[in-house]
Amino acid sequence: MYVAVLMQRILLALPLVALVACGPSTRNGNGDDTTIDSGSGGGSSDSGGGPCTPSAEVCNDGLDNDCDGLPDCADPDCSGVGQCPVCGQVNDPEATPIALPDGQRSGTSCSTDAQCVGAMDSNNNPTPNCIIAPHGNDTTHGVLKECHASYTSTLDFIGFPQGATLTDTTKLLSVCLDIEHSYLHDLQIEVLSPPDTSGTRYKVALHEFVGHVGPAIFLGIPNEGDETGPVIPGTPFHYCFVPGATEHMFDDPNPTIPAGDYIPMEPFTQLHGAPLNGTWTMRVTDIFPVDNGTLAGWSVTFDPSLVTSCSGPIIQ
């Protein structure tokens, strides 16, 4: 009788022993299993694959505090914080300022860049860009175009999800230039997107040529003594085109436009649907000769939430 009762108690205890044996191992803090370090602010999960308790991302502790798989500077939440770079921003400075082609045009009428292939000005300089003609008036402005030489600079983006497009144009935060020029009226400043699957490139005129006649308005501090010889760079100012700005460049009453933020002449909404990955182009055209200027660099800033990961380069 006693033996039978003892065996029955042993058999009843076996499932409990099995459950204890199969339960989670002891958390020893040495990486053998998932550990939440109460001193790190929480939100840490190691290679054990256990639960992660989200908390605010700390940008210099080596941990994925908010449990999104992106620790420290790789997390868009850390963009521009401490030692983390501004995620989504790319700067393209020139080692020395580049002289803008000054009024170089072939006179060839066009409606697309393709019609300017092989076009030359009177000095046999290529004029590959279809830009507004300098003799446009209130009726023909934006309609008459001809082949011009322009300054162009490209950035080849690779850091966005494959196939992603700009569906929310408020996430293009700014396009900026470091530029000087002795006559703002002469300039057309544009940014062009990569081509979409049909070959279409989306374009925004940040500043638009609206006719040559008008008061002298400077960008930066130009060198006015170089109009008949080699271009001598002046002092560029930093100008940004930002949808949330309060004035266009032409709205400013100063003879020299101060560095700062300005409304683009055309809205960024014209870039809606543009591919994010691929070649983005800055194009600056000096429509009319005599007055000149130089470009020292440009930059573009996208919202960090568009970027796949802030841990690597977004251009190549």
Residue 258 in this model has a pLDDT that exceeds 90: yes
The per-residue pLDDT for 259 is: 97
The per-residue pLDDT for 292 is: 84
- Report d(CA 50, CA 213) in Å as an integer: 70
The per-residue pLDDT for 165 is: 97
Nearest to 88 by CA among 247, 254, 280, 262: 280
Burial 172-191 (b: 16+ CB within 10 A, else e): bbbbbbbbbbbbbbbbbbbb
Q: What digits encode the pLDDT tens for the residues 135-189?
A: 554 444 456 788 999 998 899 999 999 999 999 999 999 999 999 999 898 899 9
Percent of the chain with pLDDT over 90: 43
Q: What domains, with CATH codes, occur in the chain?
A: 68-100+151-316 (2.60.120), 104-148 (no CATH)
Residue 59 in this model has a pLDDT that exceeds 70: yes
Residue 226: which pLDDT band, with cuts at 50, 70 and 90? Answer: low
Residue 30 in this model has a pLDDT that exceeds 50: no
Helices (H) and strands (E) in the chain, counts: 1, 14
Segment 110-118 mean pLDDT: 91
Residue 211 in this model has a pLDDT that exceeds 50: yes
pLDDT, the chain, mean: 81
Give the global pTM.
Answer: 0.76
Least reliable range by pLDDT among 210-214, 232-236, 248-252: 210-214
The per-residue pLDDT for 290 is: 77
Residue 264 in this model has a pLDDT that exceeds 80: yes
Those residues whose C-beta lies under 8 Å from the C-beta of residue 27, and which sit 6 or more positions away, are 33, 34, 35
Residue 69: which pLDDT band, with cuts at 50, 70 and 90? Answer: confident
